[in-house]
Amino acid sequence: MYFPSDNKLILKQNSYLATSKEELYIYLNNMYDDLGLRSEGFIMSSTRYEGEYMIIDWTPPAAHSAKMKKIEIVYENMMPIYAGVYNSKDEIYKKTYYSDYHVDSSLIIPKRVTDITYSSKTDSIVRRVIYSNIKINSQADSSLENLKIPENAKLIK
């Protein structure tokens, strides 16, 4: 990750940091119906309705089953508004809220994504991502197309 305002760089390699797991990637590739879970090997295990909300539970593949029991996605008007990740003890340990959707002929994306990860019984980590001034196709700024990270960028370890 490169932070141009500070000219700082973080280099990490980990499957959990893969671009394909990011919300932006999932929405840009029209995988919002299952938030990319199907491509990760998750299996839809149940569907239910609570009022106007459709709720789908996803069972993880064997590789994740020791840490995770299920992921629950709540939909409003067929768009995800919430995802909850449950540990092997069936306790929620991560909540993600999707809101303020940008919808046009070629792109559907939540402009606000809020993650709450419960790192312990008494603490949590909150991460909010806000997308604004969304431009696509010819509207986009092509000056970033050939972005090069400066060689003097400070590496953060």
Which residues constitute the domain of residue 31? Answer: 23-136
**Residue 18 domain flag:** no
Cα 76 to Cα 31, 55, 101, distances in angstroms: 16, 9, 11
**Residue 127 domain flag:** yes
pLDDT top residue among 104 and 147: 104
Residue 65: the pLDDT is: 84
For 97-116, what is the mean pLDDT?
A: 92
For residue range 7-63, what is the model confidence (pLDDT) as tens digits? 998 887 655 444 456 788 888 888 889 999 999 999 999 999 999 999 999 999 998
**Residue 15 domain flag:** no
pTM (two decimals) = 0.79
**Residue 69 domain flag:** yes
Q: How far apart are CA 70 and CA 56, in angstroms?
A: 10
